[in-house]
Structure 1
C-alpha cells in the first residue's frame, strides 16, 4: 500500500467547507468537501465516497491541493495531442498556401488537400490524413471559396493609384459645374441576360449534386444599370444590344433619376459605347472612366452577381419577352431594397475631393 499523503495544514475543515459553498464549480466543491472530511479525521475511503471518487483518486487530488491550493481542484482541459508541425513549419505552410502552386513545379493549378498532404510529407516529413490537412487549413484561417476573375494584364498599382486620386479626379470632372451644386457619385455597367443562363451554388444533402436546367439557346438582352450608393437608388433600361444608341438611352434615364438640382459623376469602364464622341451628355451628368482591365473597381459588377444569385440564375427563359420581364423584375426588386444598394455599392475611395 502506498504511504498516506499528508494534507497541507493552512486550511481548516471549516475553511474548506466555506470554499465549497462559494464555488460555482460542482466538481471543485465535492473535492473540497472530501478534503474537509479528511481534515476532520475521517477515514480516507469514506472521505473519498463523499466526493464520488475512490481512494486513489482522492490521493491524486490531495497532491494537486497540496501543490496549488483550492485552484488545483478545478478540472483542466486536456491540451490534446501535440502538433506534429512546429510553429515555424505552420508559418511556412501558410505562405505556401497563400502563394498558390507553381504549375511547372507542382503540376496543379490550385491546391487540393491531397496536394498539400504531399507537400507536407515532402517538406516536413510528416504524414497527415487528408481530412486533418483540411483541419490545419481551417485553423490557419483558410476556407474553400470561389475565385474572382482577374484580367491577366491588370496592373494593381494603377488600381491603387486611381483609388487614392479619385477625389481629385472627381473635382477635376466638376470644374465646369457651378460651385455649391450638390454632387452625387454613380456607378454604371451592363449585364448580358439570356437563355444561356448561369447556375449558382445551393444547399443540398451531402453526397448529392443537384441538377438545374441549362438552356442552350442564344437569345439575350442587355440590362444597363447604374446605382447611387449614397441615396440607395438606381436607374436601368433593358436593350437588345450594347451600343451607342443603348448607352444614350441609359444616360438619359440616369439624368432623370438624379436628385433635382444635383449633378452626378458617373464612374464607368472604357467600353467603346461609353467613350464615343457620338454621345450627347445630359447637363446634369459628368463621366469619369475607370482604369482599363479593373472591373473590381465597379460595384455594379457585384450588383449583377447579387441579381443573378437572388432572382435570375437557375431559370429558363422561353422567349425574348421573358428575358425582358425577368431583367426588369430583378432590377425593380433591387430598387425596393435601398439598404442593399448602399451596402453593396459603397466604396470609401469614391467621393468628392475635399
Structure 2
C-alpha cells in the first residue's frame, strides 16, 4: 500500500515468506560506522546524500528508513485506567500466528509506504524493495537512500537492489537511531487490549489502519521526524 495515493492491501508472502532468514545470510558491515551515537550517523548520511547528488544531479535525493514489525494473535496489552481497588482486565487468547508489517518512511516529509506479509526472508525482502522502488519512483523521479538495520535478510549478498535505491546499514543494536521504529505504537493502536479472532481479521484491521496513517503525513512526521535526519535535496 502506498503513501496515500492509492492505498490498498499489498500482501507478499506464501511459502517463500515463511522462511524467516536465509541461513547463508551474513550481516553487512554498517556503512554508517560503528558508533552508537547519532552524531556519526548524521555525518555519514550527509556524506552519502552528497555522493548521490553528485552521481545523479538530475533528480532529487531523499533519505527513507525501513523496519519490520510482527503482530499476531497474542494480545497487545498496555496500561489502562481503572477505579481504585479494581484490577483492569483485557480479553485475550494467546495463539502463535503472525503477520508482519513493513514500513518505508520518509521522516522529513511523513510519506510512508506499508506492506503486509506472512513472514520474513531475503527473497521476500527483495520483492518488497522492488515494489517500494517502483511505487516511490526510485531511479525515475528521485534517488532514495534507504536506512535499515543489519538483519540477515537485509544483507546485500545475493540481494537485487533496484536502480535508484541505495541501502545504508545502521550500527548494530541501535534501534534508537531508526525512525521507522517509532511508527509501531501507531500501527498497534486499534488492536491494543483487544481479542482478535483470526489472522484474516487482524489483517483487515491493520490494513485499514495503515491506509489511514498513509493519509496523515503530519502525524508520521511528528513521530519519525528526527531533528538530525537529512532533508530532501532537490537538483540545482
Structure 2 unaligned residues grouped into runs of 5+ = 1-33
Q: Tell me which protein shows more helix as a share of its residues.
A: 1
TM-score, normalization by structure 1: 0.51
| Structure 2: distance between partners of 1:219 and 1:263 | 37
| Structure 2: distance between partners of 1:346 and 1:322 | 31
**Other structure's SS at 2:173 match:** coil
| 1:18-43 CA distance string (max 9 Å, x none) | xxxxxxxxxxxxxxxxxxxxxxxxxx
- 1:281 aligns to 2:164 (yes or no): no
Corresponding residue for residue 203 of structure 1 = 81
| 1:246-298 CA distance string (max 9 Å, x none) | 21222122213325511111111010111142221111211111111000111
| Structure 1: distance between partners of 2:53 and 2:217 | 30
Q: Say whether the 8 Å CA contact 1:232–1:338 is kept in structure 2.
A: yes
TM-score, normalization by structure 2: 0.75
Corresponding residue for residue 348 of structure 1 = 227
Q: Say whether the 8 Å CA contact 2:42–2:229 is kept in structure 1.
A: yes
CA 284–276 in structure 1, closer or farther in 2 if over 3 Å, else same? closer
| Structure 2: distance between partners of 1:353 and 1:200 | 36
**Other structure's SS at 2:222 match:** helix
| Structure 1: distance between partners of 2:76 and 2:232 | 39
Match of 2:151 among 271, 282, 286: 271
The equivalences for 1:1-354 within 5 A come to 157-172=36-51, 174=52, 177-259=55-137, 261-308=141-188, 310-351=189-230
Q: Say whether the 8 Å CA contact 2:146–2:165 is kept in structure 1.
A: yes
Corresponding residue for residue 137 of structure 1 = none
CA positional deviation for 1:215 = 2.0
Q: Which moved more, 1:325-334 or 1:187-196?
A: 325-334
| Structure 2: distance between partners of 1:353 and 1:224 | 22
Alignment length, in residue pairs?
A: 198
Structure 1 unaligned residues grouped into runs of 5+ = 1-154
**Other structure's SS at 2:144 match:** strand
CA positional deviation for 1:353 = 10
Q: Say whether the 8 Å CA contact 1:312–1:330 is kept in structure 2.
A: no
Q: Say whether the 8 Å CA contact 2:35–2:171 is kept in structure 1.
A: no
1 or 2 for the larger relative contact order (CA 8 Å, sep ≥6)?
2
Look at both structures and tell me which one has the larger radius of gyration over its CA atoms. 1
CA positional deviation for 1:200 = 1.3
CA RMSD of aligned residues (A): 2.3
CA 352–230 in structure 1, closer or farther in 2 if over 3 Å, else same? closer
CA positional deviation for 1:231 = 3.1
